[in-house]
Chains A and B, each alone.
Chain A
Amino acid sequence: KAGVTQTPRYLIKTRGQQVTLSCSPISGHRSVSWYQQTPGQGLQFLFEYFSETQRNKGNFPGRFSGRQFSNSRSEMNVSTLELGDSALYLCASSVVGLASTYEQYFGPGTRLTVT
């Protein structure tokens, strides 16, 4: 069974631009969660999508948004990029998500650098 895939793996953007990251979950998984990892803040929850609906959201500004498609693939968008948005962005998929005891499976991440 193929694992969680994320594209692109690396990205360099300029401050003020916007970026879209993609996550394809494991086949059969309906939940996709997104996380930001920075050296200073550790791993932080961005949001979770389940069956095309955002189920919950972490403490991030509105510049961070996402969506999920009918095939469970998810995209995350960051608008008006700031230097502090430089981070590793991880997505994770799960059968039914955080409201369960099912495990999450993480993708390899997208390393975003904002200059």
Chain B
Amino acid sequence: ILNVEQSPQSLHVQEGDSTNFTCSFPSSNFYALHWYRWETAKSPEALFVMTLNGDEKKKGRISATLNTKEGYSYLYIKGSQPEDSATYLCASSNDYKLSFGAGTTVTVRA
């Protein structure tokens, strides 16, 4: 079982503030790093899939970076809005299996 860790487990952000959180993953036989947003009562929604060291992807106010040499990825939310409240999951693809972290639950306070 691969150890994908996310921190912090949860965080509260004031509307308009920016925030970021971490995903660490094993580098052995690494293929890709996935980020998902999972809102209550909905299905996980794919945000990014990254594979190359130094990759940086952006979707609106959300962006992510990838460091495959040290095995970590950051997800950034700029100018948080209430609709950003969700659990953000990262998953590492190693040996064609996907291992998920426990997620970071973000609550944006108006």
A interface residue numbers (CB < 8 A to B): 4, 33, 35, 42-45, 48, 55-56, 58-59, 90, 92, 97-109
Contacts and interface: CB of A to CB of B under 8 A. Distances in A.
B43 A99 contact: no
A48 to B, nearest CB: 7
A93 B80 CA distance: 30
Interface in B61-110: 89, 91, 93, 95-103
B51 interface: yes
Given A42-B102, A59-B1, A90-B44, A103 B49 contact: yes
Interface in B12-41: 31-32, 34, 36
A106 B44 contact: yes
Interface of B is mostly: strand
Interface of B: 1, 31-32, 34, 36, 42-46, 49-51, 89, 91, 93, 95-103
B46 A104 contact: yes
A56 B51 contact: no
Given A43-B89, A104-B34, A107-B43, A56 B49 contact: no
A59 B99 CA distance: 11
Nearest to A50: B96
Contacts of B1: 59
Contacts of A43: 44, 89, 91, 100
B51 A101 contact: yes
Contact of A101 (B49, B91, B99, B102): B49
A93 to B, nearest CB: 11
A55 B46 CA distance: 21
A58 B97 contact: yes
26 contacts: A4-B43, A42-B101, A43-B89, A43-B91, A45-B97, A48-B96, A56-B96, A56-B97, A59-B1, A90-B43, A90-B44, A97-B96, A98-B31, A98-B93, A99-B31, A101-B32, A101-B51, A103-B34, A103-B49, A104-B34, A104-B46, A106-B43, A106-B44, A106-B45, A108-B42, A108-B43
